[in-house]
Amino acid sequence: MLLVNTNNKEPYIVLKDISKNFGKFPALKRVSLLIHEGDIAGLIGPNGSGKSTLLKILAGIYKPDNGIGYIGKQQIGKAPICCGLMLENQPFIETLSGFENLKLLAGISGKATRDEIIQVIEYVGLNPADKRAVRKYSLGMRQRLGFAQAIMEKEKLLLLDEPTNGLDPKAAYEFRSSVLEQASRGVTVIVSSHSLSQISKICNKIFIIMEGSLTEVTQDERRINTLEEIYLHHAK
């Protein structure tokens, strides 16, 4: 797969010295980054390193304690951010079907019609006519439904937390193809994952988070070393 080239596009996400503490625990420490429109950016790091916290700050779920950041012209921490969000262990109403869950969520903003919901469920490989409650879904089916929920309103920003968990190789390939298709339309995508192979295959920008501190992997590093080698070097 070809990586997305966004060198000539304007910066879309700009963070400068973003910090977030939970009590005395520093979840993020002076995080700065620059992401362009149409980038597919990968976040890698161990559990508890700050990946999910950063995604939730970008989504407007958490407010940063310090620093400043913009998504487009909107300052983060001031108002909810319009984005497609897929969280790890995505919460759904367990007694409703996949279609019913998406219909309920779409009703909040009114951005997705019934036909669009049906189309996006089919797009991710699920059956919109399936009446089973979500509690009976496999992990892979829940992941597909979470991705459908993230893309159904056609937002310009996608934030995906561990989206390939539970996917078999074919489903993971289809997911990568879908993400590349989204980026080709100008959607900016940030993917948090423990799967270095998935990240290396689709991301034109990669950031490593260790204990709340963020480092960008350079293109020179990627040409010389594998992502696993680079990650292990930072993890020392």
Rounded distance, CA 100 to CA 81, Å?
24
Q: What angle do CA 181, 199, 209 make, to 5 degrees?
A: 130
Confidence (pLDDT) at 114: 96
pLDDT of 78? 86
Task: Report whether 206 contacts 45 (CB < 8 A).
Answer: no
CB atoms near residue 205 (< 10 Å):
20
* pLDDT range class, residue 79, cuts 50, 70, 90: confident
Q: pLDDT value at position 102?
A: 97
Residue 175's pLDDT is 93
Query: pLDDT-derived band of residue 4, with 50, 70 and 90 as boundaries?
Result: very low
- Per-residue pLDDT reduced to its tens digit, 188-221: 999 999 889 999 999 999 999 999 999 999 999 9
Q: From CA 219, how far away is CA 173, in angstroms rounded? A: 24
**pLDDT at 6 exceeding the cut of 50:** no
Over pLDDT 70: what percentage of the chain? 96
Position 89 scores a pLDDT of: 83
pLDDT of 3: 44
Residue 18 near residue 209 (C-beta atoms within 8 A): no
* Residue 50 DSSP code: S
Give CATH for domain 1-83+157-164+188-236. Answer: 3.40.50.300
Q: Where are the domains of the chain?
A: 1-83+157-164+188-236
Task: Summarize the confidence of residues 81-86 as an average pLDDT.
Answer: 92
Three-class secondary structure of residue 211 per DSSP: coil
